Amino acid sequence: MKNKRSLFVLPIIFIVFFLSILSAEEAKKENLYPPPSVTKHSIQIGEKTLDYTATAGTLPLRENRKTTAHVFYIAYTKDGVQDKSERPILFSFNGGPGSSSVWLHMGFLGPRRVLYDEKGFALPPPYKLVDNEYSILDTADIVFIDPVGTGYSRMVPGKDKHKYHGVMQDIQSVAEFIRLYISRNERWESPKFIIGESYGTTRASGLVGYLQSRHNMYFNGVILVSMTELGVNAGKDLNNYMLKLPHYAATAWYHKQLSPEFQKMDLKELLNEVEEFAMNEYILALVQGNRLSPEKRNQIASRLARYTGLSVDFIKNSNLRIDKRRFRKELLRDENRTVGRLDSRYKGIDKDASGERQEYDPAMAHWSGGFTGALNQYIREELKYKTDLNYHIFGDVRPWKGRDEVQVGEMLRRALTQNEYLQVFVLEGYYDAACDYFTAQYTFSHLDLNGELKDRIHFGFYKSGHMMYIHKPSLIKGKKDIASFINKAVQD
């Protein structure tokens, strides 16, 4: 009887074994998640040649010992480091939400960057990659993270693809990646930093608080590039109008739409005057509503026209409240041009010159093609990571949950309070309308009302836009500023 059962069971075992091999072979043929690719490189940064290792691969997110997602990353580590406790590590990502890490990676921090002209405007295709002599790799190792749904990061088939698409869900998933990377690569003793851009500043602010409270992982610094409001509600009159005025003035100055008196001024000198007006006369006029006298209304409209390059009639018809979308359409309407949202130095052309909103953002039009093509070629050719997956520069992450419920600014404030060595550095471009520099200053002045933390909040300002590093002088300055920030934060 036993022999008959054995004769019956053995073929079944063989079939299951054969099918498992076949399934593995099919997965291998699909080539979705190859093993990590490790390559060796060198780069000249300053006067020194730096040898480094690049690793492109994925780490799993797990719940109840079952893999739920694969998170793609690219890490750069300096060769020859004997003591990891003396080598800082920097975790980097972009925003969106829904953006991959391509922008900071291939524009600012990584050892290779997309080539633009000196002012930050796209060159004709095909686009080129060059060694980034301003990479931060001489100061810190870098790990670029693509959150789930972006880059090559994906949920496991059969799982809810939007499981991690929400403010807190996103923070928790990226935090788990960082914890896992730190543990597997034995970097718990390394000085730790996080850098995020745009919505990535929301993620970074929440992450440093979450990792500190959840895993007792203390960071030396947080770097916020083109910062969001971090959940600080300034109110409509402040956030939509008063805080945007300095950006309008910078944009009008750049496009030479102001009077000769203002055009002769240094940009920072002009902005100091505009900020003073915005924080005093302008906001007082806005809060008065229809109780503002006609005489005062005319005075404010005249001042706004002088600072923005718009007509007095347009400003009066807007009730002294200049909508940012209308501004981008109105400023150069006589030239049949619009100005960019992410970088107002760029000009666009709309089919309907009489409309109130621009048809597209000319800044993003300048950036998308070069970065997408360069990144895809770079990963396959230079990093030798070859997969049949599509690299999502922007992934499908909607709906995004919890925008109005999670106060990441408060999470950052608590982290600063409990970790007296934590430092924050904020990089802002004067020509960024999406995350303007004056709102960033307002946000931190109201996160820390008693001023106890302000000595640990540092700002850098650049004559560029959202991706200030596209502008070469800002790239050079940004590199120096971040390197100085990291070195000082480690020493403190």
Q: Where are the alpha helices (DSSP H) in 278-407?
A: 283-288, 294-308, 312-317, 324-330, 362-381
Q: Where are the alpha helices (DSSP H) in 49-166?
A: 102-104
Residues 6+ apart with CB under 8 A from 187: 84, 89, 181
DSSP-derived letter for residue 389 is S
Residues 6+ apart with CB under 8 A from 283: 237, 238, 242
Q: Report residue 169 as tokens.
A: 């869900």
SS3 141: strand
So what's the pLDDT on residue 3?
53
pLDDT along the chain (492 residues), means of 10: 49 44 42 90 96 98 95 98 96 97 98 94 89 98 98 95 96 98 97 98 98 97 96 84 97 98 97 98 96 97 98 97 96 95 95 86 88 92 95 95 88 96 98 96 92 96 97 98 98 82
- Count the neighbouring beta carbons within 10 Å of the beta carbon of residue 31: 11
Q: Report residue 462 as tokens.
A: 């650049």
Torsion sign over Cα 149, 178, 196, 129: negative
Q: CB of 458 within 8 A of CB of 488?
A: no
SS3 451: coil
Q: Report residue 263 as tokens.
A: 């055009």
So what's the pLDDT on residue 492?
76
Q: How far, in Å, CA of 72 to CA of 37, rounded?
A: 12
So what's the pLDDT on residue 168?
97
Exposure letters 174-183 (e unless 16+ CB within 10 A, then b): bbbbbeebbe
Q: Tell me: the pLDDT tens digits for 84-127?
A: 999 999 999 999 999 999 999 999 999 999 999 999 998 888 88
Q: How far, in Å, CA of 398 to CA of 60, rounded?
A: 22
DSSP-derived letter for residue 106 is I
- Count the neighbouring beta carbons within 10 Å of the beta carbon of residue 465: 29
Q: Report residue 289 as tokens.
A: 């509503």
pTM of the model: 0.92
Q: CB of 456 within 8 A of CB of 422?
A: yes
37-233+395-491 — its CATH code? 3.40.50.1820
Residue 224 main-chain phi, psi, to 5 deg: -115, 115
Q: CB of 107 within 8 A of CB of 132?
A: no
Q: How far, in Å, CA of 351 to CA of 329, rounded?
A: 12
So what's the pLDDT on residue 21?
42
3-state SS string for 221-289? EEEEEEECCCCCCCCHHHHHHHHHHHHHHHHHHHCCCCCHHHHCCCHHHHHHHHHHHHHHHHHHHHHHH
| Domain assignments of the chain as residue spans, ordered by start | 37-233+395-491, 236-363
Q: Report residue 101 as tokens.
A: 């890490």
So what's the pLDDT on residue 69?
96
So what's the pLDDT on residue 15?
44
Q: Which residue has 């820390």 as its token pair?
A: 448
E strand or H helix that includes residue 156: none
For 55, 108, 226, the CA distances from 372, given in Å and listed in that order, are: 20, 15, 21
Q: CB of 394 within 8 A of CB of 96?
A: yes
